[in-house]
Structures are given as structure tokens and as C-alpha cells.
Amino acid sequence: MIIVLEGISAAGKTTFARQFGAAHHVTEFPDHGVAPGKDDPAEVHAAYWIEHNIRRFDAAVAAEREHGFAICDTEPFKSHFDWCMARAGYKSFDVFNAAIPLARKAIAERRIGFGDRYFVKRIAPEIARAQKEGDATRTRRNFDMHLALQPHLLDWFDALSQALPGKVEFAFPDKDTILAEIARNSSAGEPHRFDVSVFDALLERLPG
């Protein structure tokens, strides 16, 4: 079972994920090789980041296979980031649009896919800021930008909740609740994981 935790910076994703132990925790990965520069074409950015996200998805599948389940600290299939950035006015939609056919192809080839359960945390800006200032271990660059992305992040996962009914919850439950759900669904399979129609349904339901 692949479980995804989502929310803006300082929402508490990493703290929550660490409860389950390092073997289950899929963190963000460092860039591999040389990341595209701001002057590179949208297609170059899209191709680079889909491969980056596939690496994280591979890590989630490996944790699931070896340890029974994976807890992903942000979604491996991270198409929402470029969409949220564009909606918030930080970039154009060019990279997101260039990534759509690459994402569809990767899903169809079973190289990347959807989680089995999503927990998305809404957090008040003042609480997020207090948590950021209370954590001396991380700098959290561009924090104000991340605050601006929250309404768009919630819009994205609201659309996903319509494409995957019953799979998205807008809160972090307690650890025992998640472990009980894992136990109930450990042999249920993942019929939607590589379903391109889910991606298409998500896109159709996005606002704007």
C-alpha cells in the first residue's frame, strides 16, 4: 500500500511520516544530474522532472514490496506542483502542459502511478509560520510562496478526490488509524494505480 501525505511546507508531513520508521518513509530526493535552468525550454523541464518523480515512485514501490507499505512525504507523482505554481502566478502553464503527455505515457507504461490513499492537511498560515519558526533544523526557503500555493494545492486534491472517490482525506489521522487501514487493505490490490483514465478525470475536474 502506498500512502501519500500532502500539504504545504511546515504542515507537518515529515514529522507525521517519521512515526512509521525510516523503512517506510519515502522522502523527497535530491536532484539527479544537472537540473534545467530557467532559460531551458518547457519540454526540457517537463522531461527532467517526470524522471525525477519516477525515481521517487520507484522508491515507494520498493518500500511497499520490501516492508508492506510506503509513507510518501509529498506525492511522488508531483504534477500538481507546476499547476499550483502557474495558478498562483509564479510561472506559466508551459511546463505543466508539456508534462501532460509525458505523465500519461509514464502511467500507461506503469513507470509512475497513483497512491492508494491520500491524506492532505489544511493548515492555517499563522500555524504554519509558527511551526516553521520553531524548527531550527530546516531553512524552508520560499516559505511565503508555499503559503500562496495552499489554496491551489487543495483544489488539485479536491479534483483528485472526485477522480478517486474515497481515497482522499483532508486531514492527517492518527497512526493507529492508518495502520488499521493498511491491515484491512494489504491484499486488496491497487486497480487504479496505473489507470490513465484517473489522470484524465483529474485534469477534467481541475478549476479553470
Q: How many domains does the chain have?
A: 1
Q: b vs e for 139-177, b when ≥16 Cβ sit within 10 Å of the residue's Cβ?
A: eeeebeebbbbbebbbbbbebbbebbeebbeeebeeeee
CATH of the domain at 123: 3.40.50.300
pLDDT in tens, the chain (208 residues): 999 999 987 788 999 999 999 999 999 877 777 889 989 999 999 999 999 999 999 999 999 999 999 999 999 989 899 999 999 999 999 999 999 999 999 999 999 999 999 999 987 777 767 766 656 555 556 778 888 999 999 999 999 999 999 999 999 999 999 999 888 886 555 789 999 999 999 999 999 7
Place of cell 515512485: 57
Q: Where are the alpha helices (DSSP H) in 12-79?
A: 13-18, 42-67
Q: In what order do the strands lie in the sheet with 2-6?
A: 25-26, 70-73, 2-6, 117-120, 168-169
Domain containing 24: what range? 2-205
